Amino acid sequence: MTFPSKHGVDDMVMLSSVSNSNINSNLEKRFEKDIIYTYIGHVLISVNPFRMIPGLYDEQTLFDYRGKFRFEMPPHVYATADDMYRSMLSNEEAQCVIISGESGAGKTEASKKILQYIACVSGRAADVARVKDMILDSNPLLEAFGNAKTIRNNNSSRFGKYMEIQFDRSGDPKGGRITNYLLEKSRVTFQTPSERCFHVFYQLLKGASAQLKDELRLQSPDYYFYINQGGCYDVDGINDVEEYNDTIQAMNTLQFSATEQQEIWRLLSSILWLGNIDYVEDDSDKADVANGDTLEMFAYMFQSDPMTVRSALLSRTITTGAARRGSTYAVPLNKADAYVSRDALAKALYSRMFDYIVRRVNESLGWVSGLGPEVIGVLDIYGFEIFEENGFEQLCINYVNEKLQQIFINLTLKEEQEEYAREGIEWEPINFFNNKICCDLIESRRNPIGIFTLLDDTCNFPQGTDEKFLQKSQEQHAGHNHFSGRGDTFVIKHYAGDVEYSIHGMLGKNRDTLFNDLIDLCQCTNSTIIPSMFPEDTRSKKRPTTASFKIRESIGILVDALSLCHPHYIRCIKPNDKKAAKNFNTNRVLHQVKYLGLEENVKVRRAGYAYRQVYDKFLYRYAICCDKTWPVDPWVGRFKEGTIAILESLGLQGKKPFSAGNSKVFIRAPETIFNLEELRERKTYIYAVRIQRFFLKQAREAINYRLKKSANDVVRGKKDRRRLSLERSYFGDYINYSENFTLKAVVGKDIKVHFADVVNRVDRKGKKARRIFLITDMDIVVVMLGKNKDKATRRANPFAYTIVQRIPLQNIPQITFSTLADNFFHIKNSDTMAGWDFILENPKKVEIISTLLTVFPNMSINFSDSFSAVLKRRKKPITFTFMPNPSAPEDGLLKGKRITVPPGIGKDAYPTLREPEQATHTRTEYNRPGGNNPPPSRAGPPGGGPPSRGGPPPRGGPPSRGGPPGGVPARGGPPSRGGPPGGAPARGPPSGIPARGGPPPSAQRGPPGGPGRSGPPPTSPGRTPGRLPPRPSGSGRQLPTPGGAGGPPPGGFRLPFA
């Protein structure tokens, strides 16, 4: 099922013709109308609008998606977040979302919206709120230190981040951790024109207080060499002063002490001053500092001695020999090497500071050991990059994107087709591009040797150069379809396009060497945090690992972590390179559609199955949905047979809606699972309510006593009583309203209903019509069940509920009853401009009085043998009169405007009321003849099947899903119990409402074969009489019992799950 849209289709699986151009056209149609989200099955496609769309992420939208199945709402990132959250709780399985796309496609925003949604829908306890605040505030903190403006994106992530959030079984976050990948530290010392360094530098220089600026000797941004090379100091849509304040708040939330914060700002200032140190060179090529005052300022901020700083920046210590025979020399640096040493220190300081911040964030979040598998991971990592000049950083970034693309291909295309073959499912293979060849080209260790391995080998030789690396690469990959050399560059044919990489500086960036002199300088500073950032042993002879080795190792760990989770995907698309709103570059988007493999994704989705699960888990979860598998205890058939029985009971339509594999069941349409989940929730809720009613019987008796006494006190001496109504029990719900989800959706899912029954409404002509009468906390509601006028759903649901009028209780000045033994009453509506009066007939009039006085104690109850009622808006009142007539029928006779009533048993008749005794103990004897029902024999959901793994119990009752009336699945599943329209027969009204003129089923309370019944009571389809206990006070229908209507059978009743 997809939502019908005037602007393309919500799910591109539903495209009439699948091609890259049609996919592109569908995205463009939706983009033009600010519809930026589209599905391909379970994959979410997001097109960056480069502006805020009103109402797209407001609080109401967030709550609209809460607890909804994906098919119920239009595509949205909130739907993906809710799917992850619900799946984690119901399946007890870790979830992750992989957000991919080019730089500037909107990946960071998508990750923030997911975290925002999860924080909103989880618990509200104090400790939970603390963890949620930390999770949310970690974003602005890491963005300040890890994001920067590039020519493609004003808020580009220059690092990779994988955030994992731990939850308990109730769905509340308890801890988390962040893993960061490959910070682009070269940006600290260099930016291309129109780009900026990391945001935090500009935040500090613009947002710091005057006192802090004075302490750190801060100048304007254009004063510092490290951040003025791009010539860009302000960014549209970014307020550096406000974001500085957000960064401070985030630090406070994440428990950074005032000393830590001061040390971090001081370190940032020292990096800025370090970049302003210049050098001169003497005749012997020895470098010296040209501006000693700047060096002294750096030393002051760095909290170190100026002479020590000068020595570390101008010389390099070299040790020759070994052990006692070794010699140590201080080799002076030339001007070029001095600049390299200065920049290496700046990059190391910033990179280590970023790692320190991430480590401190993780300490504050806390990773709780021993929790279950309830984890949600959000991967936000740099997108694929192609610049005019691409170097080592772009090679690493694009390699990571190749690995993520490989995960997507393996899980959505390759493994899916292989699984169909293993399970014996008929399948027509679909060709797709497998980028494993690109990944092997970069990372392979042999046959052929990958680029990273060749780079490491060249770095191991003292005389290794960038040129020798390129020569080795050309020799190793000569004739490779995805590699070619061009002068001092080489080209890799990536999945996203051809990228030309410059070899200049590749070896130096891969070595990532920080000389021991600079490490010693950092370890000897008086700062409280810098020494902890450099734990290296400078005396060790072990060769440090290279940057390419580190990125391969960390990405390998990331891939392993993602493989342990159930993946969700968000594919972000950049509509143009100008960062302009309302600008859809067709060729630019078409290129992304092609290399992301969306066409192949749609084809696999159309040809395959949306859901698959092993048989035992499927039966374990959905056995409650089918009478053949529930409440059978235990299920004696094979798991496969039970699974097939459940699916066949839904009456699924279409060509092969499911297939039974060797070990798994494959279901084609996701709506089938959505409907099973909805049916499961309703069944579980129904059983839980029945159990609650049974065990609350004593409390209900006390309530009944108070209700009966208050109402009969009002009526006594004022109205003639009927014999049948005097001693009757009060149930409140006579139409099974609590289980009629369709009616609840019409009335309002969160509205408490105290009384529900069928009444006869009298119109202006004196004719009767059946209506449903409800008393809520706030109003009286009259509902009509009539023919469904919606052509789209009329065949499946021939009847539909419509609210005739909702009258607030404060608008009812009085309710009038006659003094005779009839069943009529008059509801006066003071707002005759918006509504009208009602004259209704119902035998439970005294219970109605008691309910009204309970919810609205100020209600005026009058008694008169003349009703003057306005029965139609803006019409004159009509008077109905009551007259005694001994020969009139028992229920009275309405003829025209006159009602004749036979005599009753007197106005002073009063029921026999016995005040219930207060319970003196809570333990009850079970399993004795005629005694109470036994308790459940084991933990588990009601009904006799395996325990539910469905997550936390619903809060305030099951949420309304907005699906077909009565819980009827879209594909013809069974109607939910309780008489919603969807479960009604094709002709005639549902069985929950009696035939015209007769009393409702709840009034027919005689024993089998006695008055009011012509035979044994009806039972639910597929249920054996006696499986459920008699419905206690508060229910509408009397369930059958093996021992007849007189009491429980010997040995007690058997609960549904006993």
Predicted confidence at residue 540, as pLDDT, reads 77
Express each pLDDT in 763-773 by its tens digit. Answer: 888 889 999 99
Predicted confidence at residue 1039, as pLDDT, reads 32
Predicted confidence (pLDDT) at residue 870 exceeds the cutoff of 90: no
The catalytic residue among 108, 147, 659, 850 is 108
- Give me the mean pLDDT over the 433-457 stretch: 89
Predicted confidence (pLDDT) at residue 71 exceeds the cutoff of 90: no
Quote the tokens at residue 922: 């809570």
Segment (H or E) for 675? helix 670-695
Contacts by 995-1000, CB closer than 8 A, 24 or more apart: 996/768, 996/770, 997/768, 999/843, 1000/734, 1000/735, 1000/757, 1000/758
Specify the range with the lowest mean pLDDT, choosing from 617-621, 658-662, 765-769, 1052-1056. 1052-1056
Cα separation, 859 vs 849, whole angstroms: 9
Predicted confidence (pLDDT) at residue 287 exceeds the cutoff of 60: yes
- Give me the mean pLDDT over the 1017-1035 stretch: 36
Predicted confidence (pLDDT) at residue 1048 exceeds the cutoff of 70: no
Question: Other C-beta atoms within 10 Å of 244: how many?
Answer: 21
Cα separation, 269 vs 315, whole angstroms: 24
Active site residue 104: yes
The catalytic residue among 109, 263, 385, 443 is 385
- Measured in degrees and rounded to the nearest 5, phi and psi for residue 737 equal -60, -35
- Higher-confidence residue: 354 or 683? 354
Question: Other C-beta atoms within 10 Å of 764: how many?
Answer: 15
b/e burial code for range 842-858 (CB count within 10 A of at least 16 → b): bbbbbbbbbbbbbbbee
Active site residue 90: no
Pairing mode, if any, of strands 37-40 and 43-47? antiparallel
| pLDDT band, residue 820 (cuts 50/70/90) | very high
Query: What is residue 40's three-state secondary structure?
Result: strand
- Measured in degrees and rounded to the nearest 5, phi and psi for residue 825 equal -150, 155
Predicted confidence at residue 206, as pLDDT, reads 96
CB of 46 closer than 8 Å to CB of 571 = yes
SS in 3 state form for 582-643? CCCCHHHHHHHHHHCCHHHHHHHHHHCCCEEEEHHHHHHHHHHHCCCCCCCCCCCCCHHHHH
- Measured in degrees and rounded to the nearest 5, phi and psi for residue 868 equal -110, 105
Predicted confidence at residue 576, as pLDDT, reads 93
Active site residue 122: no
Quote the tokens at residue 960: 């309304």
Pairing mode, if any, of strands 375-380 and 160-167? antiparallel
Quote the tokens at residue 512: 């990532």
Predicted confidence at residue 991, as pLDDT, reads 38
Active site residue 17: no
Specify the range with the lowest mean pLDDT, choosing from 83-87, 121-125, 910-914, 920-924. 920-924
The catalytic residue among 26, 111, 122, 157 is 157
Radius of gyration of the chain (CA): 38
- Measured in degrees and rounded to the nearest 5, phi and psi for residue 686 equal -60, -45
Question: Other C-beta atoms within 10 Å of 598: how many?
Answer: 23
The catalytic residue among 67, 104, 146, 992 is 104
Amino acid at 339: Y
- Give me the mean pLDDT over the 117-124 stretch: 84
- Give me the mean pLDDT over the 281-309 stretch: 94
The catalytic residue among 24, 91, 147, 153 is 153
Predicted confidence at residue 406, as pLDDT, reads 85
Tell me the pTM: 0.63
Q: Where is mean pLDDT largest: 285-294, 414-423, 830-839?
A: 285-294
- Higher-confidence residue: 437 or 968? 437
First to last CA, the chain: 39
| pLDDT band, residue 978 (cuts 50/70/90) | very low
| pLDDT band, residue 927 (cuts 50/70/90) | very low
The catalytic residue among 46, 48, 91, 103 is 103
Q: What is the DSSP string of 316-360?
A: EEEEESSGGG-EEEEEEP-HHHHHHHHHHHHHHHHHHHHHHHHHH
**Nearest CA among 726, 708, 750, 740 for reference residue 850:** 708
**Nearest CA among 100, 107, 165 for reference residue 136:** 165
- Higher-confidence residue: 950 or 658? 658
Active site residue 383: yes
Predicted confidence (pLDDT) at residue 925 exceeds the cutoff of 50: no
Instruction: Enumerate the H helices of 696-758 as residue ranges.
Output: 697-715, 723-726, 741-747
Predicted confidence at residue 914, as pLDDT, reads 79
Active site residue 103: yes
CB of 182 closer than 8 Å to CB of 400 = yes
| pLDDT band, residue 918 (cuts 50/70/90) | low
Residue pointed to by tokens 């308990």: 168
Predicted confidence at residue 79, as pLDDT, reads 95
The catalytic residue among 230, 383, 597, 1052 is 383
CB of 49 closer than 8 Å to CB of 36 = yes
Amino acid at 762: V
Query: What is residue 93's three-state secondary structure?
Result: coil
| pLDDT band, residue 215 (cuts 50/70/90) | very high
Active site residue 948: no
CB of 704 closer than 8 Å to CB of 1033 = yes
Active site residue 93: no
CB of 723 closer than 8 Å to CB of 701 = no
